[in-house]
Amino acid sequence: MSNKVEMKLPKDLSQIDTNNLGEFISIYLLLLLTIGDIFLFIYFLHYVTQSVKFETIIKRVYKITLHTLDEICVAESPQVYTPEETKGQTIYMPSSNYYQGFNNKELMEFACEHDGTIQFLQPAGAFLLKGSPLLIFYSSLQLSDKDLVKIFMPIDFYNGQPLEQNSYYGYHQLAEVAIKALSPGINDPETAVLSLHSLTDLFLYRLHNYIQTVFVDEEGLPRVNTIAHSFERLFAECYYPIWEYGKKDRYIQDALQQMLEQLNSCDIDGTQSALFAIFLRKIKSQKEEDEF
C-alpha cells in the first residue's frame, strides 16, 4: 500500500508557515517573478506601441539616413568622370536582382590588378533585369571568363532597403510615410508634414554636400566610378507623389510652400532655384484654383 502525501497550499499569504523557510522563500520569490513579468509585459506593450508610431519611424529613418549621408558625402564638389579613349568591355547582369553597391577596397584591387577603370551604369538601389548592362570595364586587356566571375564577387546583389548603406532608401521611406499618412484610409496630414520636414532637411544636406562618385588609387588614377541619384531626380521622386496626394489639402500646400521657400533661400549659389521655382508656381496655381 502506497502512502499518498498531500501538499496543502495556503489560501492566502497569512497562512504561510514562516517557520518553513523553504516554503516562505519559494512563495515570495514566485510572487516577485509574477510581478516582474507583469511589468515586463507592460513595458513590452509600451515599446511596441511607441516603435510603430509614425513619429518614431520618421525620427529613426531621418537619423540613419543623415548618418549615411555623412559617410558618403565627402567630395568637395560634384564629381564627373570622363571615360577613357580605350575600348570598354560591357559587363551584363548575370540574373535579375537589386544592385546594392560594392566593396570598394576589393573592387579597387581588381581594377588595379587588371590595369583598368570600372564605370557603373546604374545607381545603387536599382533593380536590373538579367542581361541588362551593369558596368563598363575600360582597359587595354580583355577580361576572361574567370575574370568576369571575380569582378562580380565584390558587388552586392540582394533584396531589401539598407539605410546604413544607401541614403536613397531613406528619402523614399520618408516620402512613403507622408503618402500613406495622406491616404484616404488614414488621412493624417500632420504626420505627413512631420515626414515632409525631415525629408526637406535631408534635401538641404544634399544641397550643400556632394556624394563621392570617383574613387582613385594611390597614384591618383580613377579606378571605380559610380552614379549617384541626382538632386533633381530624387526631388521629383519624393515631392511630386506627396503633392499628388495632398495638393487639395491647404495644410499640405502651406507646408510644402514653406519648406521649398526655405530651401530656395538656402540655395545661395542658385543651383536648384529653377527647380524650386517650378514647384512653387505649381503650389500657387493650385491655391488660386481652390479659391474659386
In a domain, 102, yes or no: no
User: Which one is predicted more confidently, 29 or 182?
Assistant: 182
In a domain, 96, yes or no: no
Mean pLDDT across the chain: 87
Same domain assignment for residues 260 and 240: yes
Q: How many Å apart are CA 27 and CA 225, to the nearest integer?
A: 69
Q: How many Å apart are CA 200 and CA 284, to the nearest integer?
A: 19
What is the average per-residue pLDDT within 139-161?
93
Range of the domain at 29: 21-52
The pLDDT value given to residue 26: 72
The pLDDT value given to residue 262: 96
The pLDDT value given to residue 9: 47
Contact criterion met (CB below 8 Å) for 206 and 234: yes
In a domain, 170, yes or no: yes
Indicate if the pLDDT at residue 254 is higher than 90.
yes
Indicate if the pLDDT at residue 154 is higher than 60.
yes
Same domain assignment for residues 173 and 39: no
Q: Which residue has the cell 546604374?
A: 122
What is the average per-residue pLDDT within 8-30?
59
In a domain, 126, yes or no: no
The pLDDT value given to residue 141: 85
Contact criterion met (CB below 8 Å) for 151 and 141: no
What is the average per-residue pLDDT within 214-236?
94
The pLDDT value given to residue 6: 47
In a domain, 30, yes or no: yes
The pLDDT value given to residue 185: 85
Max mean pLDDT among 8-22, 25-39, 41-55, 190-204 falls in: 190-204
Same domain assignment for residues 253 and 274: yes
Q: How many domains does the chain have?
A: 2
Same domain assignment for residues 44 and 187: no
In a domain, 246, yes or no: yes
Q: Residue 122: CB partners within 8 Å, gap ≥ 6?
A: 99, 128, 132, 134, 227
Which tens digits make up the pLDDT trace of 85-97?
678 899 999 999 9
Q: Residue 37: CB partners within 8 Å, gap ≥ 6?
A: none
Same domain assignment for residues 264 and 282: yes
Same domain assignment for residues 46 and 60: no
Same domain assignment for residues 195 and 175: yes
In a domain, 153, yes or no: no
Same domain assignment for residues 253 and 238: yes
Q: How many Å apart are CA 46 and CA 49, to the nearest integer?
A: 5
User: Which one is predicted more confidently, 222 or 84?
Assistant: 222
Q: What is the DSSP string of the chain?
A: -PPPPP-PPPSSGGG--TT-HHHHHHHHHHHHHHHHHHHHHHHHHHHHHHHTSHHHHHHHHHHHHHHHHHHH--BSS----PPPSSPEEEEE-SSSEEEEEE-HHHHHHHHHHTT-EEEESS-TT-EE-TT-EEEEEE-SSPPPHHHHHHHHTTEEE-SS--TTT-HHHHHHHHHHHHHHHHSTTT--HHHHHHHHHHHHHHHHHHHH-B---EEE-TTS-EEEE--PPPHHHHHHHHHHHHHHHHTT-HHHHHHHHHHHHHHHHH-TT-SSHHHHHHHHHHHHHHHHHHH-
The pLDDT value given to residue 5: 44
Same domain assignment for residues 27 and 168: no
What is the average per-residue pLDDT within 176-204?
93
Same domain assignment for residues 44 and 60: no
In a domain, 235, yes or no: yes
Nearest to 211 by CA among 233, 189, 193: 233
